[in-house]
Structure 1
């Protein structure tokens, strides 16, 4: 029997923690997570009936989830035919990088100007957890979760979680390239060092340094793009 590509090996239906989450949102988040992680690589076909069965939902929330993924540029649906995961668009990738860098650099700047010691304490605690995983390739998934949580905490520090969700949804192509880049030797340590530079600038109340550190931190993957494309050409337009 072939493995269901939409199954995580666990029940996808609503449980205590997800009962209040709309079905379309659950399907969207799960599919987006697998696309970004390249578990559903470019060119993968998404069968709506199969997805509906896997998540124990009707096809209506599946259609809504796929529409959101289309708006994110992560899938393309052909009328009366099929839905495919898109290849990574290099032009859109650069737009997403510009958006994320501009927003997060300003978030880091705002945090430095706030001079809230509680924020620095929280961020340093997250750095300690990342430090324990840096270099442990078998823990890369957990490291990635902590990386995402770190950036979310920055937005939370300036009460801009809605903005964080917006930027995340608009940066799916960039997120896929980061998934390709993260296993690179030394990348986990580079991410940690970048986070640490941002936190120290925020703690020092140096807005210019915080903004600059964030820009430098977010530049690594995009600077390595030519090499990433050479190694994974089939994933790109």
Structure 2
């Protein structure tokens, strides 16, 4: 699959080359990022600025800007006057992001427990229901989307949604690790179980259990990183 074909299969807003000119750079960045995170664009794969610009019917400027933003995130390597490649997974970056996310999510659960009121958690519960349905259907793509929705809903309930956006922008490497790990037998069931226990602990006001479950949940993938790397050496 060429880089162009992979990008073209991305989000609905960019399919068939239809994008809004006023936000071309953002939409191209989002489409590229999604394909990288979901491993449809693999480490070492080359991207053509000219090909992408021609497909979307834009100049190379918004494509260049989108690629530069992805390079800042560490998801692309741009070699001037040469080539642009998808980066390898950086485990040190993944560990740093995990540290940030763990600190924030523990504080989010603490704030929600202090606030009380199960009504704050309706969106969290709905995301978990949808995730369970995706799991039962064997739809890992929808499962992963609702995994993100579950965590975002916690941040929104705590009234700090911008912090989730911060975490997301820094999570490219660890998200790729998780997507490599997700198809492993029992992994999806483990995630659902963690989510249910976290939600139950927050609803019951049990901070000790909530923190323990958040720690166990968010450290699971990196605890298995050597196994993941041995299974997929070409990604590292």
The normalised TM-score by structure 2 is: 0.91
| 1:75-90 correspondence runs (5 A) | 75-90=76-91
State the SS of the aligned residue for 1:38: coil
Q: Which residue of 1 aligns with 2:47?
A: 46
- Paired positions, count: 231
Tell me the CA shift for residue 134 of structure 1. 2.0
Gaps of 5+ in 1: none
Tell me the CA shift for residue 24 of structure 1. 1.1
Report whether the alignment pairs 1:154 with 2:165.
Answer: no
The normalised TM-score by structure 1 is: 0.91
Distance 1:208 1:61 in 2: 48
| 1:28-43 correspondence runs (5 A) | 28-43=29-44
Distance 1:85 1:56 in 2: 23
State the SS of the aligned residue for 1:108: helix
Distance 1:65 1:167 in 2: 19
| 1:1-237 correspondence runs (5 A) | 4-8=5-9, 10-14=15-19, 19=20, 22-137=23-138, 139-236=139-236
Distance 1:140 1:176 in 2: 14
Tell me the CA shift for residue 64 of structure 1. 1.2
Distance 1:54 1:39 in 2: 18
Tell me the CA shift for residue 21 of structure 1. 6.8
Q: 1:20 to 1:146 in 2, by over 3 A?
A: farther
- Is the 2:121–2:157 Cα contact (8 Å) retained in structure 1? no
1 or 2, which has the higher helix percentage?
A: 2
Tell me the CA shift for residue 20 of structure 1. 8.9
State the SS of the aligned residue for 1:184: coil
Q: CA-to-partner distance for each residue in 1:186-231, whole Å, 9 max, x for gaps?
A: 1111111111111111111223322222111111111111100000
Gaps of 5+ in 2: none
Q: Which has the higher contact order (CA 8 A, sep 6+)?
A: 1
